[in-house]
Structure 1
């Protein structure tokens, strides 16, 4: 399959196309074209081909960018025989293309770009996974995340949500006077938590160091140095088990506050989680694994 696609790449190159273009002027995102659809409006966008359907003198396909997808339509009469056959014979699902044309709706009211010009921006030398819309193999999904993102829209949504959560955590803590800091990743002693560290050697200093298992000790030193509210969102490392639920490299949030006790920390945690739910989900009542969770009421238990 890869050999066939490489031959197609060479055919495009001989026809004057750069199969890995340096840039493309994408004047509109696909989501913008779909959400603000105007019949006859000029469109210039780009994305990955996710479907192709040829019907005699016409080619239909779906092209998808980061935010959405749209159908495109290329016909022999407007493209010309040479360029039409070049597309038909050498463009594949998975290729990234640039499109220029006008918007219209089909008889089924599908927003579509009638293509007047196209550019090959990146030739996909390997095909997308079989039945790309339903990649199930856990090993492939976790070892080749880029395929997981292509195949599973919900995974992409999780990536975006994770980024928004971290942004909102920073917003919450910054608004309460906390200072975000970065403490050393390489430490002489693996302290601040219980865990097996990764060990390395510093050639210039001639000493062994450890990837940190927690940022705690250095954050506490900042309190000693005079800061009263500090936090860090960063990587920690523990040389332990590996599964879909446990990764040796992970992101940790630690917050330290002078003059506060555990009651204050619990209150801060409650307020943070409630804030995130309100900001990201616009509600305090959630459901998780069939259980109702009410974030307006927090039960505290002694143990």
Structure 2
């Protein structure tokens, strides 16, 4: 089939990749002049952590998210499968116990085990959880590599182009525009996330590290060469402006609580954007004639986009089949 995918964030590129892999002729239309630059996935953490997400997410996120590591490994280079380390200070031991009750597939670590995972954390914490089956990637690298792979497969890109502004002759359209589709998709809301990127000469993590705190939970994701992404806030807001002073202070204070050496780190970037979400924070497929809307990845873009892409491809090829994410017409 000839299929147009609208949107070139992680959802759009993953969907286009899955369709191209199955032999369909794919055209990608995106309003951004460059891949990823106008998508919230450009500012994502890139954690492939289905079991950690079980602490707060619904069951489908944990189950469907387990498809992510192998899918990304098949399609791009640079996927790091070194697990996730979760720690808490002694005063927040109850947070660690709560996290453990709500998750699975981890081992409990003492101070020696934590230092064995991350030598730069030696002497900092006495208790932690290690999720060895998880991983992470660099979102910007991942988006660019998917685009390169699509071009090699013959996919056509129309960047800097609004949806409907170019005639593609498609048999079907898959709309992956995120919040830009709110005029066509009811129930979407924006959830604002803010992050920092810093470079430290003294801290070199090998895997994402999560610090549990009753007010300011934090994750730090390594990008290599002492560069780390620190995130992220979750604010029910549609505002897209820059990161606030309050959020900057909270993220930096939490990073300092994780390791004091972050106080000497160089701030390379701050950013904020809005994630598209439905009321239940689960993604959804909506079919209207020859258009299929794939939206609502919330904060699980890189984790759930492979499963979402698979279900899109199945819906394209077998229209009579209803996936678990497909909205059933009233």
TM-score class, shorter: under 0.3
Larger of the two Rg values belongs to structure: 1
Instruction: Give the TM-score of the pair, scaled to structure 1.
Output: 0.22
Q: Which structure's relative contact order is higher, taking Cα pairs within 8 Å and 6+ residues apart?
A: 2
Instruction: Give the TM-score of the pair, scaled to structure 2.
Output: 0.21
